[in-house]
Amino acid sequence: MIRETRSIQTQLAIVGTGLGGLAAGIFAKYRGIKSAQVGHTGAITYTTGYFDLLGGLLGEQILDPWQGLSSLKKHYPKHPLVRIAKEDIHKALNLFNKELNNMGIGYSEPGNTNLMALLPSGVCKPTISVPLTMLAGVKAKEAKSPTLLIDFVGLQGFSAVEFVANLKKSWPLLTAQRIAFPDMIEGQQVFPEVMARALEVPSTRQKLAETIKPFIGNAKYLGLPSILGINKPDLIHNNMEELLGVKVFEIPSIPPSVPGMRLRELFEQKFVDKNVTLIPQHKVEHIELNDDGAKLFFKDPFGDIEISCKATILASGRFLSGGLKAEQQNIVETLLNIPVTQPTGRDDWYQEKYFDPKGHNINQVGVEIDNNFRPLNTKGEPINRRLFAAGTIIAHQDWVRQRCGAGVSLSTAYQAVKYAAKVLD
């Protein structure tokens, strides 16, 4: 096969296309920095779509995340979020939000307090920003409005009846109905992705609306699992509201779910321009750091690719995404073998009780950084003055328990780009 080795010269290389990496890409673009970005399927693909800033601390729900940050500082002085000025966190969230809106997925503006957003199990979680397709759910729940919740024959992991059962006490006017999604094969499993892509077709939306209408009754709101399209969710959401004559909202379903796919495909299609190269579904195999920057090496089907850059941001995530890897006894960082702060032995990875409010030690592991967001070696010195870290690969945060996944990713990305920009000047 005719193959070519390609060299990409850029200012900033970003390793990872999770929330951290993509946010870094956006912030770099915003600052006029030329960037090249490589990453594969990671945690972002499995998210609910909600952007959490800080929703939990020591087993308590946090309603005002901005105030929560002060308590966080007391208990977790090394937490990456408490090393960043609130003002910068604000900027990071707002800028990311604005860009997503510009590119075509609407998100609610991050406010002063958390929203109580619905989860597929029927519980709510505090979060700072939600996709516009999900916003009405927060309001319906808050106002306890008459609401019909739909699920689908053949869809696994989302049951309207269970959802209603869990919320019946606090939301008596919530009812459930199961329907068959138009044109699906009987007796077969139906995936949210399949329904979402089908709803990109106007005639399918009409058929679905016709199927739902007879059950609406007095309901003012209609909830369904997150299936309102992949590429034009807001348009499809509005169209369904028009067709049904009620407010419509989505509830995230369990993975493989649609909100993460939306983000991934949005970036693949809308993010790239003459200053931004994005190489999706690939992983960097090897990095050589040098005084002037770095060289990154990997292959795609067409041949070898080499990225030369003046600064690098490592946003390769944790275990699920492959930024960190658990070996027999210890945890390692996979690309540069950066020291990982971790419990002394495997026995200390988990607490005895799964729901221990302290959380599990394994969920705090990661690389150490200096004030400029550069990862550190065992002596506590930056590994390279042009290497930065962003996202959940950074130690001392437990995004699972603290519900701070997006908050950590976006604001650390903002900082990493800010400091990278300084070495690029």
Ligand X SMILES: Cc1cc2nc3c(=O)[nH]c(=O)nc-3n(C[C@H](O)[C@H](O)[C@H](O)COP(=O)(O)OP(=O)(O)OC[C@H]3O[C@@H](n4cnc5c(N)ncnc54)[C@H](O)[C@@H]3O)c2cc1C
List residues binding another protein (CB under 8 A). 1-2, 4, 40-42, 45-46, 183, 185, 188-194, 197-198, 200-201, 203-204, 230-231, 255-256, 265, 268-269, 279-281, 300-302, 320-322
10, 11, 21, 411: residue in contact with ligand X (rule CB under 6 A):
21
Cβ proximity of 408 and 81 under 8 Å = yes
Residue 156 tokens, joined: 């696994």
Angstrom distance (rounded) from CA 62 to CA 117: 13
Angstrom distance (rounded) from CA 129 to CA 109: 6
Angstrom distance (rounded) from CA 127 to CA 114: 5
Closest CB to ligand X among residues 240, 305: 305
> Which amino acid makes up residue 382?
P
DSSP state of 330: -
* Binding string, residues 376-395; x marks residues near ligand X by CB under 6 A: ---------------xxx--
Tell which residue, 307, 377, 408, has the closest CA to residue 15.
307
Pick what 17 binds: ligand X, another protein, none; C-beta below 5 to 8 Å, kind-dependent: ligand X
10, 11, 13, 15: residue in contact with ligand X (rule CB under 6 A):
15
**DSSP string across 33-56:** --EEEEE-S-GGGG--S-B-S--E
Closest CB to another protein among residues 7, 188: 188
**Residue 17 Cβ, how far from ligand X at the closest point, in Å?**
4
Name the residue with the smallest CB distance to ligand X: 18
CA distances from 318 to 56, 284, 295, 346, 387 (A): 20, 15, 22, 17, 18
Positive or negative torsion for Cα 39, 42, 48, 54: negative
48 touches ligand X (CB under 6 A): yes
**Residue 324 Cβ, how far from ligand X at the closest point, in Å?**
9
Pick what 197 binds: ligand X, another protein, none; C-beta below 5 to 8 Å, kind-dependent: another protein
20, 56, 120, 366: residue in contact with ligand X (rule CB under 6 A):
20
The 10 Å Cβ neighbour count of residue 408 is: 27
Q: Which residues bind ligand X (CB under 6 A)?
A: 15-21, 38-40, 42-44, 46-48, 50-52, 255, 283-284, 315-317, 320-323, 335, 391-393, 399, 405-406, 409
